Amino acid sequence: MEYPVGTRLRSAVDATEVVVVKAPRESIDIRCGGTPMVPISQKVEPVEGGVNPLHDGGTLVGKRYVDEGVGLELLCTKGGAGSLAVGDNPLTLKAAKPLPSSD
């Protein structure tokens, strides 16, 4: 599925919600807790089994998660127990940019 910038997604297995900040033009498979994420407006039936134990690293509100190889950046607006991934490749926490020195 293609995700335009600004798309809001929710996890089908936990409370995680994200906003797409940057995305490639090709179709990608954004997952949380090992299960595909859905548009925030879509009602979700709880997935049996919950968060996959292999994808239970959690997400933190206000943090950005990236996959530089794919060109994806997500902003977490609501944290949860599942970790974010593109397919089975986990996203990494984006490092803060260092501030210039004031010397």
**Each residue's pLDDT tens digit, 78-90:** 999 999 999 999 9
C-alpha torsion 75→16→72→27, nearest 10: -140
User: For 38-93, what is each residue's pLDDT tens digit?
Assistant: 999 988 776 767 888 888 899 999 999 999 999 999 999 999 999 999 999 999 99
Quote the pLDDT of residue 98: 86
Residues 6+ apart with CB under 8 A from 27: 1, 2
Could you tell me if residue 98 is inside a domain? no
* Number of domains comprising the chain: 1
With beta carbons less than 8 A apart as the criterion, state whether 65 and 91 touch: yes
Q: The domain containing residue 58 runs over which residues?
A: 8-93
Residue 92, CB-side half-sphere exposure with 13 Å CA sphere: 8
Could you tell me if residue 28 is inside a domain? yes
* Cα 96 from Cα 37, distance rounded (Å): 26
Instruction: Calculate the alpha carbon distances from 25 to 28, 45, 52, 62, 65 in Å.
Output: 9, 29, 28, 25, 18
